[in-house]
């Protein structure tokens, strides 16, 4: 087990983690020839581009074999996950295990799911999950995020053992364009304006046409993360002057909208802001017409570098804006887990003890290796105390990217179910280019004042906040696009704020403040 020591340095000493891994399952292994127990597991297929069912993944096969259990995985159709979840819940025909974002995507949150008779509390069965239980005992931050407000355990959550896993999104810019124009990577919002103006007017792609889109974007992507530079994070609750506030109604947010409107009016932001999809963004980046975006290290930066080797795409720092501070604009940066997002056992399950042991396997040494590194000798090898992927995984001869090459063996870079996500394995697959490795370092640097850790809500808090923010965010996103594009004047911002307040955003902020205060008293 010595080879795991360095991977759990963030918040958990090697000795503590060794203790968490020791001990045998609380359910004895089946006798030879005894028929395997059969369970059903409803979960989103995060690798549907490469595999049709999780039973094609070796790590899940090993999980079943070691526990003498056969799993029938039920995957909702891509794009219909929420709808099919609602149908399942309405039918009351529950599978044995359900993976879901119980805290945010179930009306009333995970406590309500228990009260509604959908899932069970796990506390009385924790002796059958010794590895998970020990991890909760040793990691106070993880425990306080997993447990409900009344101290119950309802889900097997994913634990990210390295906070660097969360640096998967940030500002990206064409360094080759900057070099061609004699410019440096922008550090401030003023720098960004200078660079984007040059991209618009100085033909950085060298084709003799004024076809460049300086900052490519869609309604759901880049600009909302840049709002942090004003100290007003779009769509986020955070602390300000000792109280919780909602970023999209702050005075600083108006200044952000005004600047974005000005940039849009000058042609520095994609004119298709309201309708541009990820496919459109990909086409513009790969077509050598777009110069910058805020997006993902893997599916965007890695994809573009793989298809356009001559493109030098790099990560830029979170910009310093009018607030005078470089605020990190990645909202998940501080979160080692997400409350209520994981594997729950349904009330229909007739084999809870065995299911507990099955899900606990992913927190054992063997399970952690299988879920992150795959199969020894096939996908990884040991180099002294370290594990490392084989070159055949990182540089697949058939043109597969590392994540695709690993998909028959394990889902290293995907969560949503109970497991430990190992930072070393994650980074080895996600950061195959030097630009990605450097970007990951850059995006972790900055002020975290606008970021909150993961903390649970009561059923009443969750339901009320959900009802308020569902309506508020629809109106917010509508006005966000309209004000940037000039369809609605920025001068109507105060009217916009008044309506947001009428919907209940201040009430939601007060509920978050109560929940956050309660969480901090547990630390």
Tokens of 357: 């042991």
The answer on pLDDT for 459 being more than 90 is: no
- Whether residue 156 has pLDDT greater than 50: yes
Write out pLDDT tens, residues 286-308: 999 999 999 999 889 998 998 99
38-65 pLDDT, tens per residue?
999 999 999 998 999 999 999 999 999 9
Distance CA 500, CA 469 (A): 9
- With a pLDDT cut of 70, the percent of the chain lying above it is 93
pLDDT at 16: 33
When pLDDT is cut at 50, 70 and 90, the band that residue 398 belongs to is: confident
Cα–Cα distance for residue pair 230/233, rounded to 1 Å? 8
Separation of alpha carbons 437 and 434, rounded Å: 5
Angle at 509 (CA atoms; ends 507, 510), nearest 5 degrees: 65
Query: For residue 448, what are the contacts with CB-CB under 8 A and spacing of at least 6?
Result: 327, 328, 333, 334
> H or E segment at 91?
helix 81-91
C-beta neighbour count of 137 within 10 angstroms: 14
Domain boundaries, the chain: 2-14+35-164+335-441, 169-329+458-521
Task: Kindly tell me if the per-residue pLDDT of 34 is higher than 90.
Answer: no
Of the candidates 196, 187, 165, 178, the residue with the CA atom closest to the CA atom of residue 428: 165
Contact partners, residue 410, CB within 8 Å, separation at least 6: 57, 58, 59, 370, 371, 372, 373, 374, 379
What is residue 491's DSSP assignment?
Answer: G
Q: What is the mean pLDDT of residues 147-153?
A: 92
Average pLDDT for the chain: 91
Could you tell me the pLDDT band of residue 497, with boundaries at 50, 70 and 90?
Answer: very high
What pLDDT band is residue 3 in, cutting at 50, 70 and 90? very low
- The arithmetic mean of pLDDT across residues 384-407, rounded, is 91
169-173, 208-212, 216-220, 489-493: segment of lowest average pLDDT: 216-220
Indicate whether 469 pLDDT > 60. Answer: yes
Q: What pLDDT band is residue 222 in, cutting at 50, 70 and 90?
A: confident
Residue 1 above 50 pLDDT? Answer: no
Q: Which helix (H) or strand (E) holds 343?
A: strand 341-345
**Residue 9 above 80 pLDDT?**
no
pLDDT at 221: 65
Q: Which residue has the tokens 């200078």?
A: 194
Mean pLDDT of 316-335: 94
Residue 14 confidence (pLDDT) above 60: no
Domain 169-329+458-521 has CATH 3.40.190.10: yes
Task: Report residue 21's pLDDT band, with 50, 70 and 90 as the boundaries.
Answer: very low
Res 477: pLDDT: 93
CATH topology of domain 2-14+35-164+335-441: D-Maltodextrin-Binding Protein; domain 2 (3.40.190)
Report residue 234's pLDDT band, with 50, 70 and 90 as the boundaries.
Answer: very high
Cβ proximity of 503 and 468 under 8 Å: yes
Q: In Å, how far are 161, 189, 247, 497 from 485, measured between CA atoms?
A: 42, 19, 20, 18
**Is the confidence at residue 510, as pLDDT, over 90?**
yes
Better pLDDT: 127 or 141: 127
Work out the percent of the chain whose per-residue pLDDT is above 90. 78
- Average pLDDT on 477-491 reads 96
Phi, psi of 3 (to 5 degrees): -70, -10
Domain 169-329+458-521 in the same topology as domain 2-14+35-164+335-441: yes
pLDDT digits over 158-198, tens only?
A: 999 998 899 999 999 999 999 999 999 999 999 999 999 99
Examine the pLDDT at 26 and tell me if it is beyond 70: no
């Amino acid at each position: 087990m010595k080879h795991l020591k360095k991977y759990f340095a963030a918040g958990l000493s090697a000795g503590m983690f060794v203790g968490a891994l020791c001990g045998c399952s609380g359910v004895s292994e089946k006798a030879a020839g005894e028929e395997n127990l059969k369970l059903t597991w409803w979960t989103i297929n995060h690798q549907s581009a490469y595999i049709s069912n999780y039973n094609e993944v070796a790590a899940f096969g090993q999980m079943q074999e070691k526990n003498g259990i056969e799993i029938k995985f039920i995957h909702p159709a891509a794009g219909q996950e929420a709808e099919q979840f609602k149908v399942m819940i309405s039918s009351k025909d529950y599978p044995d295990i359900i993976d879901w974002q119980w805290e945010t995507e179930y009306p009333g949150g995970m406590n309500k799911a228990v009260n509604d008779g959908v899932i069970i509390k796990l506390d009385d069965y924790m002796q059958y999950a010794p590895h998970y239980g020990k991890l909760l005992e040793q990691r106070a931050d993880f425990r306080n995020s997993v447990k409900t407000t009344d101290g119950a355990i309802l889900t097997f959550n994913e634990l990210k053992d390295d906070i660097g896993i969360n640096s998967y999104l940030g500002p990206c810019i064409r360094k080759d364009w900057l070099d061609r124009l004699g410019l440096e990577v922008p550090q401030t919002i003023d720098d960004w304006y200078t660079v984007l103006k040059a991209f618009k007017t100085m033909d950085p792609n060298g084709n003799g046409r004024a076809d460049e889109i300086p900052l490519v974007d869609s309604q759901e992507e880049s600009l909302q993360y840049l709002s942090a530079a004003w100290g007003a994070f779009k769509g986020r609750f955070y602390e300000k002057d000792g109280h919780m506030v909602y970023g999209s109604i702050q005075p600083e947010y108006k200044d952000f909208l005004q600047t974005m409107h000005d940039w849009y009016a000058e042609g520095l932001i994609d004119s298709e802001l309201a309708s541009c999809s990820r496919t459109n963004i990909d086409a513009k980046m790969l077509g050598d017409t777009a110069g910058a975006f805020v997006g993902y290290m893997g599916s965007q930066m890695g994809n573009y570098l793989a298809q356009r080797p001559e493109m030098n795409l790099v990560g830029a720092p979170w910009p310093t804006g009018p607030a005078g501070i470089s605020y990190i604009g990645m909202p998940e940066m501080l979160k080692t887990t997400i409350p209520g997002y994981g594997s729950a056992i349904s009330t229909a399950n007739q084999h809870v003890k065995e299911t507990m042991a099955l899900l606990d396997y992913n927190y054992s040494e063997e399970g952690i290796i299988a879920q992150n590194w795959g199969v020894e000798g096939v996908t990884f090898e040991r180099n002294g105390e370290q594990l490392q992927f084989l070159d055949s995984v990182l540089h697949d001869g058939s043109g597969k990217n590392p994540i695709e090459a690993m998909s028959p063996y394990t889902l290293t870079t995907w969560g949503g179910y109970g497991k430990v996500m190992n930072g070393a394995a994650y980074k080895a697959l996600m950061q195959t280019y030097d630009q990605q490795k450097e970007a990951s370092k850059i995006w972790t640097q900055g002020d975290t004042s606008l970021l909150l850790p993961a903390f649970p809500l009561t059923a009443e808090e969750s339901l009320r906040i959900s009802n308020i923010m569902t309506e508020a965010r629809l109106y917010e996103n509508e006005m966000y696009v309209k004000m940037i594009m000039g369809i609605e004047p920025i001068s109507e911002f105060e009217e916009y704020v008044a309506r947001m307040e009428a919907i209940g955003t201040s009430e939601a902020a007060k509920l978050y403040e109560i929940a956050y205060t309660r969480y901090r008293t547990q630390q």
